[in-house]
Amino acid sequence: MASATSEGPLLGQSALKVLVAGGFGVGKTTMVGAVSEIPPLRTEELLTEAGAGIDDITGLDRKTTTTVALDFGRITVNPELVLYLFGTPGQERFWFMWDELAAGALGAVVLADTRRLDSCFPAVDFFEHRGIPFVLAVNCFDGSPRYPVDEVREALDIDGPVPIVHCDVRAKDSSKEVLVTLLEHLVQRAEVGVLA
Amino acid sequence: MAEDSWFDEDAGPLVRPFALTRGRTRPGRYDLDMITLVVAIGSHREPGREPEYARILAACQRPVSVAEVSATVDLPLVVVKVLLSDLIERGELLFRSPPRTVSPQTDRVVLQAVLDGVRNL
Ligand SMILES: Nc1nc2c(ncn2[C@@H]2O[C@H](COP(=O)(O)OP(=O)(O)O)[C@@H](O)[C@H]2O)c(=O)[nH]1
Ligand SMILES: [Mg+2]
Q: What DSSP string runs through B76-92?
A: -HHHHHHHHHHHHHTT-
Q: Is the CB of A100 under 6 A from ligand 1?
A: no
C-alpha of A121 from chain center: 13
Examine the predicted complex and report whether its ipTM is higher than 0.90. Answer: no
Nearest to A11 among B94, B101, B113 (CB): B94
Instruction: Indicate the Cα dihedral angle B33, A185, A35, A76, nearest 10°.
Output: -50
Interface test with A, best of B115, B116, B119, B120 (most A CBs within 10 A): B115
pLDDT, tens only, B30-83: 889 899 999 999 777 778 888 899 999 999 999 999 999 999 999 988 889 999
**Ligand 1 touching residue A26 (CB < 6 A):** yes
Q: At what angle do helices B77-89 and B66-73 cross, to 10 degrees?
A: 110
Q: Which phi-psi region, left, alpha or beta, contains residue B50 (left: φ > 0; alpha: ψ -120 to 50)? A: beta
Q: In chain A, what residues touch B31 (CB-CB under 8 Å)?
A: 6
Determine whether the shortest distance from the Cβ of A95 to ligand 1 is under 6 A.
Answer: no
The low-confidence residues of chain A, meaning pLDDT below 50, are 1-9, 49-64, 196
Q: Where are the domains of chain B?
A: 13-120
pLDDT tens digits, A135-174: 999 999 887 878 899 999 999 999 989 999 999 999 999 9
Kindly give the distance from the C-alpha atom of residue A168 to the centroid of ligand 1, in angstroms, as a whole number. 10
Question: Which three-class secondary structure state does DSSP give residue A16?
Answer: strand
Atom of ligand 1 nearest to the CA of A90: 20
pLDDT (0 to 100) of residue B118:
97
Give the dihedral sign, CA B25/B28/B31/B37.
negative
CATH topology of domain B13-120: Arc Repressor Mutant, subunit A (1.10.10)
In CATH, which superfamily holds the domain spanning A14-191?
Answer: P-loop containing nucleotide triphosphate hydrolases (3.40.50.300)
Min distance B50 CA to chain A CA atoms (Å): 22
This prediction's pTM: 0.85
Q: Please answer yes or no on whether A75 and B35 come within 8 Å at the CB atom.
A: no
- Domain range list for chain A: 14-191
